[in-house]
Amino acid sequence: MAGRIIVVMGVSGCGKTTVGKLIADGLNCEFIEGDEFHSPKNIAKMAAGQSLDDDDRKGWMVSRNQKLREVLIADGYTVLACSALKEIYREWLTDGFSTQVLFIFIKGDFSEINQRMQEREGHYM
């Protein structure tokens, strides 16, 4: 497995998707929006304003692990936008290939992120 993975991480509304797409475009590689792979149960929970717990996130992280593993086996490159805020989430996400992953943490100003979230349309969060 000679490929590489870049995970753009941070809280909802910090710009993971925007930055991740720019990186993927610059590297001419695939971009994966992690939010697109949540279960209907998780989406409903978040849409209701409830935070996901570790049990909610584990299956989602393990499924992304499988996708990333496939990319690496094919010697590919990809950029994933994913919150991955806890160390255990990053471990689930990269189990078996953590040395081939670069994490980029986007930190934002609370008021700016809050404003983005208030103005966001077409997203369950």
In the block, which residue shows the tokens 């279960």? 39
Asked whether residue 8 carries a pLDDT value surpassing 90, the answer given is yes
DSSP state for residue 50 in the 8-state scheme:
P
In the block, which residue shows the tokens 């209907």? 40
Domains, the chain, ordered by start: 4-119 (3.40.50.300)
* Residue pLDDT, tens place only, 66-110: 999 999 999 999 999 998 999 999 999 999 999 999 999 998 776
- pTM for the model: 0.82
Upper half-sphere CA count for residue 10 (Cβ side, 13 Å): 17
**90 vs 112 pLDDT, higher one:** 90
Nearest to 85 by CA among 14, 9, 13: 9
Mean pLDDT of 39-62: 88
